[in-house]
Structure 1
Amino acid sequence: MKFAAIQRVIGALVAWSSLMMLPPAFVSWIYDDHAAYMFLLAAIVLVVVGGLIWWPVRKDARDLRLRDGFIIVAACWLVLAMVGALPFLLLPQPQMSYVDALFESMSGLTTTGATVLDHIDTLPHGILFYRQQLQWLGGMGIIVLAVAILPMLRVGGMQLFRAETPGPMKDAKLTPRIAETAKALWLLYLGITVTCTLSFWLGGMTLFDAISHAFSTVAIGGFSTHDTSFGYFDSPTLEAIAMVFMIISGMNFALHFSAWRKASAQPYFNDSELKTYAVLLAGFTVLVAFMLVYNGTFGTLGEAVRFGGFQVVSALTTTGFTTTEFHQWQGWIPLALISMAFIGGCAGSTAGGMKVIRLQLLYRHATREIHRLIHPHAVLPVKFGGYRAAESVLDAVTGFFFLFAASTALMTLLLVATGLDLLTAFTAVTACITNLGPGLGDVAYSYASLGDVAKLILSFAMLAGRLEIYTLLVLLTPAFWRD
């Protein structure tokens, strides 16, 4: 293990991350909310801490291996969440414990959208902007950003990229050089964010709300600048815009890049995962809208489609925006919406969950096993997108599914052991490990009522979900640390 090289990269990333404190400081200065000092102080701390980590090993230039990449990614996300908690900790009102501040910071960076804050509308503009910015930076990934802009990470960049990028197809590169791939992804991400901002602004939001909600929409985060989330605006136009950009952000960004480079929509029509994603969105919307009308929750089909469709898109893409108190809907619909987050968006998107491509591969793998019972000696390859899926990919997907389910079950039991009821515990873990945000029961509005132990467990769930289980759990195996 090349600990000096790892330390050098972590120190540089921590020091450079001080820059993320400057935009909210500027917003605080514009709105004169007396919060700018918090961000400037946090920036100084980041520079000092990062410099102290980097300086002793600054001359170490050894190549990074994939094993080193796992450590760097996990360590950087954890360290940045811990230091990113400083502005919340410095808030005079409401006063937050370090565990609460860490929970809020981790929720932002992992694009989960779970919050321990109440009366969000009364918070300083700088803090509101900072929460949204955390999600935007975490959406595409801080490590991917570092690979794109830090020359010192060009060596070993693929190791970091593979350790952080979501989905089972981690070796595909959009360009020959991994740094160029990272830059292409971030430019695309920025372009979609700007377009979303303009759409919200033209749709009736203030410029501040438009930028803030574009950050959390494209990052699929779910934080809002208002207590009632997207329901604050009560605008079908803005809801439609949000749905469009949630759907776009839940798609594989490699498809967006390919379509942009070829100036053609053909890549979208040729993608099997995208077709399944569209079918799931449409099917769940029809089902939920029908049940809302059937249960009498809404009097007209139009209202049922408007509110039900928004919640389906928000849940399936793991965004977490709400336009109404969906947890009070009758029957199984609220639990079904939370459970949709297990599927998530497409691989290579900013969405959480297991990803549609894994669902497809699991389904086809299970179907093949059924056919093998009928034809034991038949050769039955699993095909995806016209190509034969490698057995190693199928094994990885099956293992991921087991670890995802087992982790959810274990952490649910741990939360129940802290005194939570089963519904609250299960939906809280589900909402955090899928990076969805809102849950049911005691966490329907916020996570403020939970104890510190429960919040730490859920913070771990957020990080595990964002790094897709393997990246984090591999560090807990003894074999990983053997040379």
Structure 2
Amino acid sequence: MNIGLCVRIVGLLLMLFSLGTLPSMTLGWVQNDGTASIFGQAFAATASSGVFLWLATQRVKSELQIRDGFMVTAAFWIVLGVYGALPFLLSDAVDITVFDAVFESVSGLTTTGATVLVGLDNIPQSILLYRQLLQWLGGIGIIVLAVAVLPMLGIGGVQLYRAESTGPAKDSKLTPRITSTAKALFSIYLGLTVICALAYFLAGMSAFDAISHSFSTIAIGGFSTHDASMGYFDSNVILLISSLFMLISAVNFGLHFVAFSKRNPTIYRYDSETKFFSGMVLISVVITCATLAIMNTLPLEEALIHGLFQTVSIATTTGYASDNFSAWPSFLPIFLLMLSVMGACAGSTGGGMKAMRILLIFRQGLRELRQLLHPNAVIPLKLDHRRVRPEVVSAVWSFFAVYMFSSFILVLAMLGTGLDFLSAVSSVMAAINNLGPGLGTVAANYGAVSDAGKVILCIAMLLGRLEIFTLLILFTPTFWRP
């Protein structure tokens, strides 16, 4: 493994990330709210650190290998979480500790949406915009964005793309060149953000709220500029628009690219993962709305709207709130939280295990049942009329096992910090699935969690964002052997 090359790339990515403070710095300067200097200092610190790392390793010349890709990916997300916390620490508008600031930063970048901040309505808009931008950048993946730049500097980017991109089918590329792939993903991501912002604005949001919420909606992040989240706007139209764009963003962006390039929206109908995800969401929406209506929790119209919105929000791991779902009756809070385990589709900005893995596990289970009845038959596992390779199925089961084991260990660790059982379990599920809101004491925010608990949840968020193996592989002896 080439440590010098890894340091060089991290330096470059830090320089790129520093540009994310400029919109907030500009807004702070225009509104004269005293935050422009804060973002200026954060920009200077991040950019100068990147320049220093870049110059110190400028003479390193070699191709990026798979181990280097994993190292850069994990190191950069950890470093990014620290540098992303600088504006929160430097600003007097938010009175938080170092642990809180890093937690907020990591939550934003991993598109988790868990927050320790209260009184969002009174925080300067420049700070709020920065939070939303963290999620927008984290959604597409700052490393995937950098893939379009690295080849021009003589550094191959394909290993970074494989390490950072999500889902069980990482090696599929939309275009022959990895640079073009990254650009295609970004173009779709940016286009959806613009359309979403325009729809929000036409539905009654202010320009600032429309842009800010389009960032977190397309990123499937869940950060809002108001304490009441989407419930602040008290608009069924906005909730329906948000539900639509959350569902769009939860679908594989590669599928969006193919459908757009071929001008053929019927492609979605033939994708097994999309059909499975849509079916699961539809069934969950019906269950939620019916339960709310039957138990008279909400009037019928509100039960339909809030049931639909809240189910889509949690199923896609966005984490927006239109109502206090943790106070809903019967099994609904637990049911919705468990729904986030599936998460969105592979290749989307969502969290969770991904619908593709759940689908493969489900079909493998059915295959085993048929095999019991016909022990001598050869029953292949197929997806989209193509046979699924045994190593793919093995990888899915391995991921599931590591996912469950990691969750178990993290829950025990959170219980050790003093949290009650419900809060500990839900906080870990919300963090590792990049969902955000939990149950119990973490239903509204994570301010009551101890500093040790915040560190544990940061690890869980990073594990979820990097799909567990990318981070855990660094702790295996095999990774460090020549």
User: When the two structures are superposed, what TM-score results if normalisation uses the length of structure 2?
Assistant: 0.98
Per the TM alignment, residue 374 of structure 1 is displaced from its structure 2 partner at its CA by: 2.5
With 267-276 and 239-248 compared, the bigger mean Cα shift is at: 267-276
With 395-404 and 143-152 compared, the bigger mean Cα shift is at: 143-152
Q: Secondary structure of 1:129's match? A: helix
* CA–CA separation in structure 2 for the residues paired with 1:232 and 1:285: 22
Q: Does 1:263 align with 2:274?
A: no
State the partner residue of 1:243: 243
State the partner residue of 1:200: 200
* CA–CA separation in structure 1 for the residues paired with 2:365 and 2:108: 36
Which string of whole-angstrom CA distances, capped at 9 and with x for unpartnered residues, describes residues 406-451 of structure 1? 1111101110111111100000000010000000000011000110
Per the TM alignment, residue 299 of structure 1 is displaced from its structure 2 partner at its CA by: 2.8
Paired residues for 1:118-137 under 5 Å: 118-137=118-137
Check the 8 A contact 1:147/1:154 in 2, yes or no.
Answer: no
Per the TM alignment, residue 371 of structure 1 is displaced from its structure 2 partner at its CA by: 2.3
State the partner residue of 1:327: 326
* CA–CA separation in structure 1 for the residues paired with 2:459 and 2:290: 37
Q: Does 1:345 align with 2:344?
A: yes
State the partner residue of 1:379: 378
State the partner residue of 2:468: 469
Per the TM alignment, residue 154 of structure 1 is displaced from its structure 2 partner at its CA by: 6.2
Structure 1: runs of 5 or more not aligned: none
With 313-322 and 56-65 compared, the bigger mean Cα shift is at: 56-65
Paired residues for 1:406-421 under 5 Å: 406-421=405-420
Q: Which amino acid aligns with 1:416?
A: L
Which string of whole-angstrom CA distances, capped at 9 and with x for unpartnered residues, describes residues 160-201 of structure 1? 000011100001000000011000100110000000000000
Q: Does 1:172 align with 2:178?
A: no
Check the 8 A contact 1:250/1:317 in 2, yes or no.
Answer: yes
* CA–CA separation in structure 2 for the residues paired with 1:423 and 1:33: 40
Per the TM alignment, residue 152 of structure 1 is displaced from its structure 2 partner at its CA by: 4.7
Paired residues for 1:53-452 under 5 Å: 53-152=53-152, 155-300=155-300, 302-452=301-451
Per the TM alignment, residue 8 of structure 1 is displaced from its structure 2 partner at its CA by: 1.0
Q: Which amino acid aligns with 2:63?
A: D
Which string of whole-angstrom CA distances, capped at 9 and with x for unpartnered residues, describes residues 233-255 of structure 1? 01001111100100000000011
* CA–CA separation in structure 1 for the residues paired with 2:369 and 2:61: 52
Paired residues for 1:451-462 under 5 Å: 451-462=450-461
State the partner residue of 1:26: 26
* CA–CA separation in structure 2 for the residues paired with 1:155 and 1:379: 46
Per the TM alignment, residue 362 of structure 1 is displaced from its structure 2 partner at its CA by: 0.4
**Identity rate, percent:** 49
Check the 8 A contact 1:9/1:153 in 2, yes or no.
Answer: no
* CA–CA separation in structure 1 for the residues paired with 2:385 and 2:33: 57
State the superposition RMSD in angstroms.
1.0
* CA–CA separation in structure 1 for the residues paired with 2:200 and 2:31: 21
Q: Which amino acid aligns with 2:355?
A: V
* CA–CA separation in structure 1 for the residues paired with 2:237 and 2:327: 24
Q: Secondary structure of 1:449's match? A: coil
Q: Which amino acid aligns with 1:440?
A: L
Which string of whole-angstrom CA distances, capped at 9 and with x for unpartnered residues, describes residues 210-253 of structure 1? 00000000000000000000000010011111001000000000
Check the 8 A contact 2:150/2:157 in 1, yes or no.
Answer: no
Q: Secondary structure of 1:341's match? A: helix
Q: Which amino acid aligns with 1:323?
A: S
Per the TM alignment, residue 6 of structure 1 is displaced from its structure 2 partner at its CA by: 1.0
Check the 8 A contact 2:131/2:223 in 1, yes or no.
Answer: yes
Check the 8 A contact 2:93/2:124 in 1, yes or no.
Answer: no
* CA–CA separation in structure 2 for the residues paired with 1:140 and 1:426: 28
Q: Which amino acid aligns with 1:327?
A: S
Q: Secondary structure of 1:107's match? A: helix
Per the TM alignment, residue 91 of structure 1 is displaced from its structure 2 partner at its CA by: 1.8
Over 3 Å counting, the alpha-carbon distance change for 1:153 and 1:350 in structure 2 is: farther
Q: Does 1:2 align with 2:17?
A: no
Check the 8 A contact 1:147/1:153 in 2, yes or no.
Answer: no
* CA–CA separation in structure 1 for the residues paired with 2:295 and 2:208: 38
Check the 8 A contact 1:344/1:356 in 2, yes or no.
Answer: yes
Check the 8 A contact 1:154/1:179 in 2, yes or no.
Answer: no
* CA–CA separation in structure 2 for the residues paired with 1:175 and 1:59: 31
Q: Which amino acid aligns with 1:200?
A: Y
Per the TM alignment, residue 459 of structure 1 is displaced from its structure 2 partner at its CA by: 0.4
Per the TM alignment, residue 93 of structure 1 is displaced from its structure 2 partner at its CA by: 3.3
Check the 8 A contact 2:39/2:87 in 1, yes or no.
Answer: yes
Which string of whole-angstrom CA distances, capped at 9 and with x for unpartnered residues, describes residues 131-174 of structure 1? 00000000010100000234456633110000011100001000
Check the 8 A contact 1:135/1:216 in 2, yes or no.
Answer: yes
Per the TM alignment, residue 48 of structure 1 is displaced from its structure 2 partner at its CA by: 1.5
Q: Which amino acid aligns with 1:97?
A: T
Q: Secondary structure of 1:342's match? A: helix
* CA–CA separation in structure 1 for the residues paired with 2:56 and 2:91: 33
User: When the two structures are superposed, what TM-score results if normalisation uses the length of structure 1?
Assistant: 0.98
Check the 8 A contact 1:73/1:163 in 2, yes or no.
Answer: yes
Q: Does 1:481 align with 2:444?
A: no
Over 3 Å counting, the alpha-carbon distance change for 1:154 and 1:278 in structure 2 is: farther
Q: Secondary structure of 2:458's match? A: helix
* CA–CA separation in structure 1 for the residues paired with 2:422 and 2:344: 24
Per the TM alignment, residue 94 of structure 1 is displaced from its structure 2 partner at its CA by: 2.9
Check the 8 A contact 1:346/1:357 in 2, yes or no.
Answer: yes
Q: Secondary structure of 2:216's match? A: helix
Q: Secondary structure of 2:179's match? A: helix
Q: Secondary structure of 1:362's match? A: helix
Q: Which amino acid aligns with 2:142?
A: I
Q: Secondary structure of 2:225's match? A: coil
Check the 8 A contact 1:216/1:224 in 2, yes or no.
Answer: yes
* CA–CA separation in structure 2 for the residues paired with 1:373 and 1:417: 43
Per the TM alignment, residue 77 of structure 1 is displaced from its structure 2 partner at its CA by: 0.7
Per the TM alignment, residue 31 of structure 1 is displaced from its structure 2 partner at its CA by: 2.0
